[in-house]
Amino acid sequence: MSDNTSGCSGNCVPGMKKDMLVPQLAVVTDIRTDTPDVKTFRVKSLDGQPLFDHMPGQCAMLTLPGSGEAMFSITSSPTHKDYKEFSIKRCGMLTEALHAMEPGQEIGIRGPYGKPFPVDTEFRGKKLLFIAGGIGLAPLHSVIDYVRANRDAYGHMDILYGSRSAADLVDLEQIQTEWMNEKDTDVYLTIDRPQEGWDGHVGFVPSYLKELAFKPDCTAIICGPPIMIKFVLQALIEMGFDKKQVYTTLELKMKCGIGKCGRCNIGSKFVCKDGPVFRCDEIDELPGEY
Amino acid sequence: MSLKKIALTELDRFFSAIALKKKIYLPVEKAGQYDYAPWEPGITYHPEVLHTVKSAKSVFFPQSEDLVRYKRSGLSLAIAEVPPEDEEFVVFGVHACDVKGFEVLDRVFLSDPVDTFYKARREHGTVVSVMCPQPEETCFCETFGIDAENPGADVQARICEGTLYMEALTGKGEALLEELGGIVAEADQNGEAAGEGKDAEAYAKGAEEHKKIMDKLPLAGLTTEGFGAEADLLTLFNRPEWKELSSSCLGCGTCTYVCPTCQCYDIREYNTGKDIRRFRVWDSCMYSDFTMMAHGSPRPDQLQRFRQRFMHKLKYYPDNYEGAFSCVGCGRCLQKCPVSMNIVKVMKTLGGAAHE
Ligand SMILES: Cc1cc2nc3c(=O)[nH]c(=O)nc-3n(C[C@H](O)[C@H](O)[C@H](O)COP(=O)(O)OP(=O)(O)OC[C@H]3O[C@@H](n4cnc5c(N)ncnc54)[C@H](O)[C@@H]3O)c2cc1C
Ligand code: SF4
Ligand code: SF4
Ligand code: FES
């Protein structure tokens, strides 16, 4: 866990280690509108020093006092040390307020939390198949950019990404200009229903996945709404994948992020510290409460 | 062992002597109910009271506490920390079950990353335990290997024949008794001249008599068989009996609020007009909004919430903390549940052996 002494102001005793629940001060420097309900926020420390180190798949708690605090995936790659990015879907009180922010707004941040994807171990040297739905691209974004930054350490990369409509595809511009031109990488996009101006694939992610008939010789990484994850996993099994080859992230209500508030457990595991990344065979050992 | 003593009739002097230097918390009567509160002149200690309504955990893990304060103006934000506890205090009169309850919380809050608010209070608090008075039929601390006669903590005390006997078990405990040198007397022990060990005898006898009552308690034979780290999680989780066990639960959360080992909390905000306070409050897994998210809750029914509470105490916690249970058999949930549903019924229904 990172040293949590910086960003101190007010009654801070010098040299005293802050409690893990006390955030550090940060500033939102850029806001990008991705879709009608998703914006991506770039967050930096006030003094230009890195906020903290993270690995792909880890999350952080963002707070806008007066509106609350919630957990968000860090979508930027750890290779970008001077900022963290978060893609946030507007769906409630806090996210509404975050969407209303302007650049320059100071916020609180604490983290990183959770177990990352095994990008430097199990994933290394493997072919990778990313399957994302909607805002589920957020946690995978960091992994994909990490792989791109270390391209030769990994095998071929397939990215299958779907959303309700073309407008709902998060970060379409980067996908088209960067990911589609990345070496040894294929990107497949799909939207739920036909729409004018879209000449790409139409259909749900799980059925497109079956059409594409990937060989089970790669590691699959899934993220999206629970129902999508369920059907994608089923499809992968039918295609001959073993659950040990498939990784996903789980989302439960979180408050502390450090395994103490007792809110995010599934059986004996806490999603905030033992997850949010799980290998699908590990999930089978948990009670079905997620 | 160095045994100290003071007559119960002198307790006021004892409390005043401590209160001169530091706060002392003990069970205090308010409107016929007992809870831990600071002692003040005029407050009488009632050694015959078995349980406070809320457990002693509230001293170290208060029901509500500020974590951080914010000030926002325009785009800028100031974060002010709330300083952790920095004054010494004493907690007096904690019975064995609640003392063990602290250990259950310690494993959670003192493991990495440490909860500094809790840790500061633990470090600044000196706990004086007292062997409980007449235990009640709802008591089953022995099920969890708790020694009611030797409750542990910094100073361990026993009331025998109108006298409070105390022995220090830690450095903190010794320091406290030392400070009270003019108030507490040396108890005479075997082999020492005056009194020919009468005090030591009374002290030992008090425990023996207490043990006899313990052995006769209706729940004396209850075991943890069928639970704990060795039990199969999914088998226990999927037992059909959960449905019937949970069917009468009101989801009121009373059992979690009175429990010495329940540790779940919520983090909320309050705008005072001058600043925004982020505070922590006890929360209950028995509540429907506990796990509510934008896309729904993984525990939509009371069955799942009820199961969570007892699975946590008897299976999940032991899995995470080397087999230790997160129940100390205090019996508060047995006494307070409005529909008489409780952990003992769960253990008897799902446990390894049936008990009478
Ligand atoms: C590990 C993890 C990673 C995450 N990553 C991301 C991410 O990258 N991007 C992202 O956008 N989100 C992410 N989330 C979700 C995020 O933390 C928020 O929970 C979510 O955005 C909700 O935002 P909110 O606080 O604005 O919603 P809330 O104000 O909490 O409300 C959300 C919706 O739920 C309803 N609701 C809330 N509470 C209740 C209740 N008690 N009863 C009934 N209905 C209720 C509200 O009416 C509203 O419609 C992640 C969550 C986790 C756990
Ligand atoms: S579960 Fe019940 S008996 Fe066990 S410690 Fe909590 S209140 Fe006491
Ligand atoms: S078990 Fe009893 S005390 Fe606990 S929530 Fe249910 S009704 Fe309330
Ligand atoms: S968020 Fe508190 S235990 Fe996981």
Note whether A136 and A92 are same-domain residues.
no
Note whether A89 and A168 are same-domain residues.
no
pLDDT band at B293 (very low <50, low <70, confident <90, very high): confident
Chain B, 282 to 341: residues with Cβ < 8 Å from chain A are 283, 285, 290-295, 297-299, 304, 308, 311-312, 315-316, 319-320
User: Which pLDDT score, from 0 to 100, does residue B1 have?
Assistant: 62
DSSP state of A115: B
The number of residues in chain B equals: 356
Helices vs. strands in chain B: H and E counts, helices first = 13, 12
In a domain? residue A6? no
Element (DSSP H or E) covering residue A172: helix A172-177
Could B79 and A22 be called an inter-chain contact, meaning their C-beta atoms sit closer than 8 Å? yes
Query: How far does the CA of residue B112 sit from the closest CA of chain A (Å)?
Result: 9
Query: CB of A262 within 8 Å of any CB in chain B?
Result: yes
Mean pLDDT of chain B: 92
User: Which pLDDT score, from 0 to 100, does residue A138 have?
Assistant: 87
How many beta carbons lie within 10 A of that of residue A242, not counting itself?
Answer: 11
User: Which pLDDT score, from 0 to 100, does residue B190 have?
Assistant: 58
Domain total of chain B = 1
Summarize the confidence of residues B127-150 as an average pLDDT. Answer: 94
Residue A229 CA to ligand 1 center (angstroms) comes to 18
Note whether A71 and A166 are same-domain residues.
no
Q: What CA–CA distance (Å, rounded) separates B126 from B173? A: 7
Whose structure tokens read 């007397």?
A: B185
Residue A21 CA to ligand 4 center (angstroms) comes to 11
- Between B34 and B190, where is the model more confident? B34
**Angle, to 10 degrees, between the axis of helix B11-21 and the axis of helix B171-179?**
110
The answer on pLDDT for B301 being more than 50 is yes
What are the beta bridge partners of residue B160?
B163
Note whether A140 and A96 are same-domain residues.
no
pLDDT tens-digit readout, B31-89: 999 999 999 999 999 999 999 999 999 999 999 999 999 999 999 999 999 988 889 99
Q: Which domain holds residue A145?
A: 128-249
Most confident of A3-7, A16-20, A173-177, B92-96: B92-96
A139 contacts: CB under 8 Å, gap ≥ 6: A56, A57, A59, A73, A75, A223, A249, A276, A277
Say which CATH number the domain at A196 has: 3.40.50.80
What ranges in chain B are assigned the alpha helix state H? 11-21, 57-60, 96-109, 116-124, 171-179, 198-216, 233-237, 241-246, 254-258, 302-311, 317-320, 332-336, 343-350
B155 close to ligand 2 (CB < 6 Angstrom): no
* Best mutation target, B82, B119, B267, to test chain A (most A CBs within 10 A): B267
The number of residues in chain A equals: 290
Note whether A79 and A160 are same-domain residues.
no
Ligand 2, from B53, B103, B284, B313: best to mutate by most atoms within 8 Å of Cβ? B313
CB-CB contact of B176 with B168 (8 Å): yes
Ligand 1, from A31, A58, A95, A137: best to mutate by most atoms within 8 Å of Cβ? A95
pLDDT band at A17 (very low <50, low <70, confident <90, very high): low
Nearest partner of A135 among A195, A80, A91, A187, judged by Cα = A91
Q: Which ipTM did the prediction report?
A: 0.90
Residue B317 CA to ligand 3 center (angstroms) comes to 20
Chain A residue numbers touching B84 (CB-CB < 8 A): 19
pLDDT band at B191 (very low <50, low <70, confident <90, very high): low
User: Which pLDDT score, from 0 to 100, does residue B224 have?
Assistant: 93
pLDDT band at A63 (very low <50, low <70, confident <90, very high): very high
In a domain? residue B86? yes
B329 close to ligand 2 (CB < 6 Angstrom): yes
Mean pLDDT of chain A: 91
| Atom of ligand 1 lying closest to residue B293 CA | 34
Residue A130 structure tokens: 């990313």
Residue B203 CA to ligand 2 center (angstroms) comes to 29
Nearest partner of B141 among B325, B355, B338, judged by Cα = B325
In a domain? residue A255? no
Chain B, 8 to 47: residues with Cβ < 8 Å from chain A are none
In a domain? residue A270? no
User: Which pLDDT score, from 0 to 100, does residue B20 have?
Assistant: 92
Note whether A133 and A239 are same-domain residues.
yes
Could B291 and A252 be called an inter-chain contact, meaning their C-beta atoms sit closer than 8 Å? yes
pLDDT tens-digit readout, B7-41: 999 999 999 999 999 999 999 999 999 999 999 99
User: Which pLDDT score, from 0 to 100, does residue B353 have?
Assistant: 53
The answer on pLDDT for A5 being more than 60 is no
Q: Which ligand is nearest to the CA of B265?
A: 4
| Atom of ligand 1 lying closest to residue A252 CA | 53
The DSSP secondary structure of B178-207, one letter per residue, reads HHTTTTSEEPP-TT-SGGGGHHHHHHHHHH
Query: CB of A268 within 8 Å of any CB in chain B?
Result: yes
Note whether A82 and A158 are same-domain residues.
no
In a domain? residue B15? yes
How many beta carbons lie within 10 A of that of residue B62, not counting itself?
Answer: 14
DSSP state of B63: S
User: Which pLDDT score, from 0 to 100, does residue B328 have?
Assistant: 97
- pTM, rounded to two decimals: 0.91
Q: Which domain holds residue B204?
A: 3-350
- Between B85 and A267, where is the model more confident? A267
User: Which pLDDT score, from 0 to 100, does residue B35 have?
Assistant: 95
Residue B199 CA to ligand 1 center (angstroms) comes to 63
Domain total of chain A = 2
* Per-position b or e across A20-47, b if 16+ CB within 10 A of its CB: bbbbbbbbbeebeebbebbbbbbbbbbe
Note whether A147 and A214 are same-domain residues.
yes
The answer on pLDDT for A19 being more than 90 is no
Q: What CA–CA distance (Å, rounded) separates B312 from B140? A: 18
Q: Which ligand is nearest to the CA of A278?
A: 1
Residue A259 CA to ligand 4 center (angstroms) comes to 4
In a domain? residue B120? yes
Query: CB of A102 within 8 Å of any CB in chain B?
Result: yes
Nearest partner of A97 among A74, A66, A71, judged by Cα = A66
Say which CATH number the domain at A90 has: 2.40.30.10
User: Which pLDDT score, from 0 to 100, does residue A72 have?
Assistant: 96
B251 close to ligand 3 (CB < 6 Angstrom): yes
The answer on pLDDT for B96 being more than 60 is yes
Percent of chain B predicted with pLDDT > 90: 84
Least confident of A72-76, A81-85, A196-200, A272-276: A196-200
Sign for the CA dihedral angle at A270, B314, B309, A19 comes to: negative
Nearest partner of B218 among B142, B131, B310, judged by Cα = B142
Q: Which ligand is nearest to the CA of B260?
A: 2
The answer on pLDDT for B295 being more than 70 is yes
A80 contacts: CB under 8 Å, gap ≥ 6: none
- Between A16 and A169, where is the model more confident? A169
| Atom of ligand 1 lying closest to residue A139 CA | 8
pLDDT tens-digit readout, A76-93: 999 999 999 999 999 999
User: Which pLDDT score, from 0 to 100, does residue B210 have?
Assistant: 92
